[in-house]
Structure 1
Amino acid sequence: MSLHESPTLWELVRRRAVRTPDAPALIEAAPDPAHDRSITFRELHDRAERVAAGLRAQGIGPGTVVAWQLPTRIQTVLLSLALARLGAVQSPIIPFYRDRETGFALRESKAEFFAVPGTWRGFDHTAMAVRLGARGIIPTHTGLPEADTDDLRPPPTDGTRVRWIYWTSGTTSDPKGVLHTDRSLIAGGSCLADALHLDATDVGSIAFPYAHIGGPDYLVMLLLLGIPAVLFENFALPRSLDGYRRHRVTVAGGSTAFYSMFLAEQRKDPSRPLIPSLRLLAGGGAPKPAELHHAVVRELGCELAHGYGMTEAPMITMNSPDDSSEHLAHTEGRPPSGMEIRITDPQGDALPPEIDGEVRLRGEAVCRGYLGEAHDDAFDCEGFLRTGDLGHLRTSGHLVLTGRLKDVIIRKGENISAKEVEELLHTHPSVRDAAVIGLPDPDRGERVCAVLEQEAGTAPLTLAEVTAHLGAAGLAPHKLPEQVEVLDTLPRNGALRKVLKYRLRERFS
């Protein structure tokens, strides 16, 4: 099967079900092995069709906007594929988002239906949906709707229509809705499949939220190659290790934080392999220190292939396991044939190899724009997406990232808007001014640090007080600071009195 010939995600599902119907597709690794579940590629196709028929009976059809906020389960993949079968517009929302981000996504997308998991990890998502005034709440903990497929209309055939809205914090306090098509998601997954050189003996794994842009990225790879993946709904080490070992996972990872967690666990007992079947860690979404790559290879006894992606372009570059050790450690890999990378100066003029500039992208995996208000500066006059990242291309074609223009913190692969956290910090009566910065962290990629300038006469705020205030204001838990510093005055420039964040990073890194 060609990696680039499928026009829609559903057609990819259909073709795989015909080609290897009885091969395992997805496996849920439960804490108790007796509760493990699995589904073949034929069952994935057939059940998704029945769910599509059930959703159709509820009034969902082509163009209907459906938001879903679900954990990493077979059920979640089935619902998403059923929506793809109908040609609905789906808006995945990370399951640990709370009222603030979730409410914004529901309003901006004008979602007509909202699928939730009920109470998950102690939080009542149904109650939140009611608080937010969500329409058409679908409580999936009671089971997905299924019906006879005889009356289903033919599936969509145009893979270039916008049918996906993913959310990224970007540089503003509110998230941005990123518009994708089946074709752009397939292009990203094809890049991953091309780069990793997996074969029929491999077993993948998804330990990150399937609602992340990496979810369909990984699923497309599975459909193209016909290999299974083990799903971890509540990933934690060492608890999840038994699932990796039991199902003989060969490919694991997700982001820098995952690499660090596996490495830390291995160091508890260096005398035996942590996961005997593991041959490759792969991922992206956060900076990867070169020393971490070397430690993984040396101590875990597997290769590490890291890549570069973002919500706007799920797979931009990817290292391959057969790249040189130097490239694997110090670059983000090379782009696939369908991705153009241009490094530019501030005026937008192209720069030669080895010279740092802004990274700009053009290609089939790049999003089709943003939801709602215009973002005229996101694309240049030649249609290249301005990433806001800084870096250079080597003469070999490998990309090296060196920094970011955007004021975004990337913690465990998730974008966190510094401005959003700062605005909420300003609502505390003791805070005069605040600057939120990302500091290098070997486990998270970056950690969130809040630097405060307080009102005169107020007691220095503690980390516990700051996180309690932000949590009460509705900030998602993964955005909470892990470090708080208090200064008499924040450093500013002499013109517009803008806070000089680079000085704070230099001081507290």
Structure 2
Amino acid sequence: MNETAHALSSAPTLWDLVARRAALTPDRPVLLQGDRSLTFGDLRTRSERVAAGLYAMGVRPGTVVAWQLPTRIETVLLSLALARLGAVQSPVIPFYRDREAGFALRESKAEFFAVPGVWRGHDHTEMARRVGAKGIFEAYDDDSLPDGNPSPLPAPPAEGTSVRWIYWTSGTTSDPKGVLHTDRSLIAGGSCLAHALRLTPDDVGSIAFPYAHIGGPDYLVMLLLYGFPAVLFEHFALPDALAEYRRHGVTTAGGSTAFYSMFLAEQRKQPPGTRLIPSLRLLAGGGAPKPPELYQAVVREMGVQLTHGYGMTEVPMITMGDPEDAPENLATTEGRPPSGMEIRIVDGEIRLRGEAVCQGYLDPAQTAAAFDTEGFLRTGDLGRLTGSGHLVLTGRLKDVIIRKGENISAKEIEDLLAAHPLVADAAVIGLPDADRGELVCAVVEQPPDADRLTLPEVVTYLRASGLSVHKLPERLEVVDALPRNETLRKVLKYKLRERFSRPLP
């Protein structure tokens, strides 16, 4: 991290970081979307005017304001305006519907709710009324944002250790959990990410995932520290988004494993020797396991570096690959933790302590269950540290299949299947079985026009790959597409268990 970025990383609050960067490089662009461009100076000025408009509506320090908005410049402005006021904000993923959104509003006790009106065919305003939201207002473009004269505003918050952010876990298996963050925990996560990726003021980034995800402020902090811009994508789809990547000369892109796969699939459609995005030099992300074969294919075929990391809503940045690291480490590990992150492995489980770790959950009982007696967060993830300090993920506590009393890692089998030429993606699940306790079921997507894969072929391949006999799948299901969430495209294994636990006809 350069000296300027290092100094900025000590900012006590997110708003202080905005103000410091605006004073340093007011005329440099920070947000690019379509034909629009916002500078760091504009970011501070416009956010403060939105803060004044919110203040006139009754928003005060500590007021809980939820927002469910797509990835737009206006979303960033509204979020920073709330940070300027010292309000408590609760971002809600725009794909959430009545159940999840209503739950988030009730649990957070939100006094205001910002929505985009009708977005992608869904009437968010009507949904907000339906779930009983308070203080509903639309914020779908620059003209609809609250606006006012900043003169009467109180001073910005002076400290960044109070809880001012409530993020929501995905809720893929039960109701979402409200994760409590501070300005400092978000700044710490973004600082670690910026340092690990070795970015410079000459880079051009991209935010192709929902800004309401914990990765939103993580990425914004990185832009503020290094003073470079990012292209915002309200809806990410390939090949449609490629024109914007090329137009703005994006140098670093990504999001998660699914994003890497989508870019690679588009690269394979190009004529030999043609780079998909000529300016691109780095793909980076996290949020889901990365098979080594995918790393190797991206580097070989796209001609870019790929660095993958490990994070979660509770801790936005835990480890990250270093672009200058050895290929073996980049392919097979999640990188190393920054100096401020303590990792402890207890009975195979990864536990964490550091400034980027959340303060807990809205539900005190969930907080008590999540932290051990020494203040380490229990992640529920399994892993190990190598001699060089790199973290290797080996699975999930709840993603271990217990077959005849033997623990089987789903991830181990998935990594092997990912290298099979007839497999585009794979998920391995345990299904109830009267004789074994659980049986191993492999669920795979296949490439277009591929010959139908059979269970004997899978078993033969996995045995040849060195997989122990007791771990071999006893069932194979081929699906058109694995079910995924709408944020970082994680596979929803609970849906597969629900689908395939039913008796076969």
Amino acid paired to 1:383? G
Alpha-carbon distance in structure 2 between the residues aligned to 1:122 and 1:171: 23
SS in 2 for 1:406: helix
Deviation at 1:243, TM superposition (A): 0.1
Alpha-carbon distance in structure 2 between the residues aligned to 1:361 and 1:478: 24
**Alignment counterpart, residue 393 of structure 1, candidates 374, 385, 390:** 385
2:253 is aligned to 252
TM-score by length of 1: 0.79
Deviation at 1:372, TM superposition (A): 2.4
Q: Deviations over 1:261-316 (max 9, x none)?
A: 00000101142110000000000000000000000000111000000000000000
Alpha-carbon distance in structure 1 between the residues aligned to 2:109 and 2:216: 23
Alignment map for 1:124-139 (pairs within 5 Å): 124-139=123-138
2:350 is aligned to 359
Q: Deviations over 1:214-239 (max 9, x none)?
A: 00000000000000000010110000
**Alignment counterpart, residue 19 of structure 2, candidates 7, 14, 17:** 14
Alpha-carbon distance in structure 1 between the residues aligned to 2:399 and 2:125: 33
1:202 is aligned to 203
Q: Deviations over 1:104-157 (max 9, x none)?
A: 000000000000000101111001001011000011126101101110111001
2:72 is aligned to 73
Q: Does 1:328 align with 2:327?
A: no
Deviation at 1:488, TM superposition (A): 3.3
1:214 is aligned to 215
Amino acid paired to 1:11? D
Alignment map for 1:341-490 (pairs within 5 Å): 341-345=343-347, 357-375=348-366, 376-406=368-398, 481=495, 484-485=499-500, 487-488=502-503
* Cα pair distance change 1:4/1:436, threshold 3 Å: farther
Alignment map for 1:35-114 (pairs within 5 Å): 36-114=35-113
Shift >6 Å, 4+ stretches: 434-438, 440-443
Alignment map for 1:200-279 (pairs within 5 Å): 200-271=201-272, 272-279=274-281
Alpha-carbon distance in structure 2 between the residues aligned to 1:203 and 1:437: 42
Q: Does 1:287 align with 2:317?
A: no
Alpha-carbon distance in structure 2 between the residues aligned to 1:67 and 1:12: 22
Is this contact kept in 2: 1:114–1:134, CA < 8 A? yes
Alpha-carbon distance in structure 1 between the residues aligned to 2:287 and 2:442: 15
Alpha-carbon distance in structure 1 between the residues aligned to 2:394 and 2:283: 23
Is this contact kept in 2: 1:26–1:39, CA < 8 A? yes
Q: Deviations over 1:453-489 (max 9, x none)?
A: xxxxxxxxxx99xx9xxxxxxxx99969479436538
SS in 1 for 2:16: helix
Q: Deviations over 1:300-342 (max 9, x none)?
A: 1100000000000000000010010000000000000100000
Alpha-carbon distance in structure 1 between the residues aligned to 2:365 and 2:356: 21
Alpha-carbon distance in structure 1 between the residues aligned to 2:300 and 2:383: 28
Alpha-carbon distance in structure 2 between the residues aligned to 1:146 and 1:360: 44
Is this contact kept in 2: 1:358–1:387, CA < 8 A? yes
* Cα pair distance change 1:243/1:482, threshold 3 Å: farther
Choose 268-277 or 377-386, whichever is displaced more. 268-277
Q: Deviations over 1:166-223 (max 9, x none)?
A: 0014685111000000000000000111001111211000000000000000000000
**Alignment counterpart, residue 312 of structure 1, candidates 307, 314, 327:** 314
Is this contact kept in 2: 1:171–1:407, CA < 8 A? no
Structure 2 unaligned residues grouped into runs of 5+ = 401-409, 412-430, 432-437, 448-478, 484-488
Deviation at 1:440, TM superposition (A): 7.0
1:494 is aligned to none
* Cα pair distance change 1:389/1:43, threshold 3 Å: same
Q: Deviations over 1:384-432 (max 9, x none)?
A: 000010000011010000000135999xxxxxxxxxxx9xxxxxxxxxx
Alignment map for 1:145-184 (pairs within 5 Å): 145-169=146-170, 173-184=174-185
Is this contact kept in 2: 1:166–1:179, CA < 8 A? yes
Amino acid paired to 2:139? T
TM-score by length of 2: 0.79
Is this contact kept in 2: 1:50–1:148, CA < 8 A? yes
Q: Which has the higher contact order (CA 8 A, sep 6+)?
A: 1
User: How many residue pairs were aligned?
Assistant: 424
Deviation at 1:377, TM superposition (A): 1.7
Amino acid paired to 2:503? D
Amino acid paired to 1:488? P
SS in 1 for 2:336: coil
Alpha-carbon distance in structure 1 between the residues aligned to 2:491 and 2:65: 25
Alpha-carbon distance in structure 1 between the residues aligned to 2:386 and 2:19: 40
SS in 1 for 2:184: helix
Amino acid paired to 1:88? A
Is this contact kept in 1: 2:8–2:17, CA < 8 A? no
* Cα pair distance change 1:170/1:234, threshold 3 Å: closer
Amino acid paired to 1:10? W
Is this contact kept in 1: 2:48–2:81, CA < 8 A? yes
* Cα pair distance change 1:98/1:478, threshold 3 Å: farther
**Alignment identity in percent?**
70
1:471 is aligned to none
SS in 1 for 2:500: strand
* Cα pair distance change 1:477/1:382, threshold 3 Å: closer
Is this contact kept in 1: 2:190–2:217, CA < 8 A? yes
Q: Deviations over 1:340-366 (max 9, x none)?
A: 000012xxxxxxxxxxx1000000000
* Cα pair distance change 1:442/1:68, threshold 3 Å: farther
Structure 1 unaligned residues grouped into runs of 5+ = 30-35, 346-356, 411-421, 423-433, 444-462, 468-475, 491-509
Q: Over the residues paired in the alignment, what is the CA RMSD in angstroms?
A: 2.8
